[in-house]
Chain A
Amino acid sequence: MSAQQSGHQGHSTMKVTLHVWRQKDARDPGRMVGYPNVECSPDMSFLEMLDVLNERLMEKGEEPIAFDSDCREGICGACSLTVNGIPHGPRKGTTVCQLHMRSFEDGAELFIEPWRAKAFPVLRDLVVDRSAFDRIIEAGGFVSVRAGGCPDGNAIPVPKEEADQAMDAAACIGCGACVAACPNAAAMLFVGAKISHLRHLPQGQAEQKRRAQAMVDQMDSEGFGNCSNYLECEAVCPKEISVKVIAEMNRDYLSASLTREEQKNDGGGAG
Chain B
Amino acid sequence: MSWVCRLYRSSLGAKYVMASTGVLLLGFLIAHLLGNLQMFAGADAVNSYAESLRALGPLLWVARIGLLVIAGVHIVTALRLAKANEAARPVAYVKQASRQVKPQTKTMVLSGLVILGYVVYHLAHFTWGFVLHDYSTLVDTEGRHDVYSMVVYGFQCWWVSASYLVALALLALHLCHGITSAFQTFGLNHAKYATAIKLTGPAIATLLFLGYASIPVACWLGIVQILEGT
The interface of chain A, by Cβ under 8 A from chain B, is: 19, 21, 30, 32, 82, 84-86, 111, 113, 116-119, 181, 183-186, 216-217, 219-220, 223-232, 235-236, 243-244, 246-254, 257, 262
Say whether B11 contacts A227, CB under 8 Å: yes
CB of B55 within 8 Å of the partner chain: no
How far, in Å, is A28 (CB) from chain B's closest CB?
Answer: 12
Q: Which one of A223, A225, A253 lies within 8 Å of B12 (CB-CB)? A: A253
How far, in Å, is B28 (CB) from chain A's closest CB?
Answer: 23
Say whether A118 contacts B187, CB under 8 Å: no
Say whether A224 contacts B184, CB under 8 Å: no
CB of B3 within 8 Å of the partner chain: yes
Interface locus among B39-47, B88-96, B130-138, B211-219? B88-96
Give the 6 A-B residue pairs with the shortest CB-CB distance, closest first: A85-B97, A251-B187, A225-B88, A247-B189, A111-B95, A184-B85
Known A118-B88, A224-B88; contact A113-B93, beta-carbon cutoff 8 A: yes
- Chain A contacts of B190 at CB under 8 A? 244
> In the bound complex, what is the Cα–Cα distance between A5 and B136 (angstroms)?
72
- Chain B contacts of A32 at CB under 8 A? 94
> In the bound complex, what is the Cα–Cα distance between A42 and B5 (angstroms)?
56
- Chain A contacts of B13 at CB under 8 A? 253, 257
A-B contact pairs, 18 of them (CB 8 A): A30-B91, A32-B94, A82-B93, A85-B93, A86-B99, A118-B87, A118-B88, A184-B85, A185-B85, A225-B85, A226-B11, A227-B12, A228-B105, A228-B181, A230-B106, A232-B101, A250-B187, A252-B187
> In the bound complex, what is the Cα–Cα distance between A224 and B186 (angstroms)?
20
CB of B81 within 8 Å of the partner chain: yes
- Chain A contacts of B106 at CB under 8 A? 183, 230
The interface of chain B, by Cβ under 8 A from chain A, is: 3, 6-7, 10-16, 81, 84-85, 87-102, 105-106, 108, 177, 180-181, 184-191
How far, in Å, is B219 (CB) from chain A's closest CB?
Answer: 37
Say whether A232 contacts B16, CB under 8 Å: no
Say whether A216 contacts B97, CB under 8 Å: no
Q: Which one of A82, A118, A227, A243 lies within 8 Å of B189 (CB-CB)? A: A243
- Chain A contacts of B102 at CB under 8 A? 230
> In the bound complex, what is the Cα–Cα distance between A187 and B92 (angstroms)?
17
How far, in Å, is B129 (CB) from chain A's closest CB?
Answer: 38
> In the bound complex, what is the Cα–Cα distance between A236 and B93 (angstroms)?
16
Known A118-B88, A184-B85, A232-B101; contact A250-B186, beta-carbon cutoff 8 A: yes
Residue of A nearest to B187 (CB): A251
> In the bound complex, what is the Cα–Cα distance between A246 and B5 (angstroms)?
22
How far, in Å, is B109 (CB) from chain A's closest CB?
Answer: 10
Residue of B nearest to A253 (CB): B12
Say whether A117 contacts B88, CB under 8 Å: yes
Say whether A226 contacts B15, CB under 8 Å: yes
How far, in Å, is B94 (CB) from chain A's closest CB?
Answer: 6
Q: Which one of A85, A229, A249, A262 lies within 8 Å of B3 (CB-CB)? A: A262
> In the bound complex, what is the Cα–Cα distance between A228 and B180 (angstroms)?
11
> In the bound complex, what is the Cα–Cα distance between A257 and B13 (angstroms)?
9
- Chain B contacts of A244 at CB under 8 A? 189-191
> In the bound complex, what is the Cα–Cα distance between A186 and B15 (angstroms)?
13
Known A84-B95, A85-B96, A217-B10; contact A250-B184, beta-carbon cutoff 8 A: yes
How far, in Å, is B157 (CB) from chain A's closest CB?
Answer: 37
Q: Which one of B94, B96, B99, B188 lies within 8 Å of A21 (CB-CB)? A: B94
> In the bound complex, what is the Cα–Cα distance between A236 and B100 (angstroms)?
9
How far, in Å, is A27 (CB) from chain B's closest CB?
Answer: 13
- Chain A contacts of B189 at CB under 8 A? 243-244, 246-248
Q: Which one of B12, B94, B101 lies within 8 Å of A111 (CB-CB)? A: B94
Known A118-B87, A219-B11, A262-B3; contact A226-B100, beta-carbon cutoff 8 A: no
- Chain B contacts of A19 at CB under 8 A? 94-95
Say whether A116 contacts B101, CB under 8 Å: no
Say whether B105 contacts A184, CB under 8 Å: no
Say whether A119 contacts B99, CB under 8 Å: no
Given pairs A217-B10, A230-B102, 9 additional interface contacts (CB within 8 A): A116-B89, A117-B89, A119-B88, A223-B87, A225-B11, A226-B81, A227-B12, A227-B15, A228-B108
- Chain A contacts of B96 at CB under 8 A? 85
- Chain A contacts of B94 at CB under 8 A? 19, 21, 32, 111, 113
- Chain B contacts of A82 at CB under 8 A? 93, 95
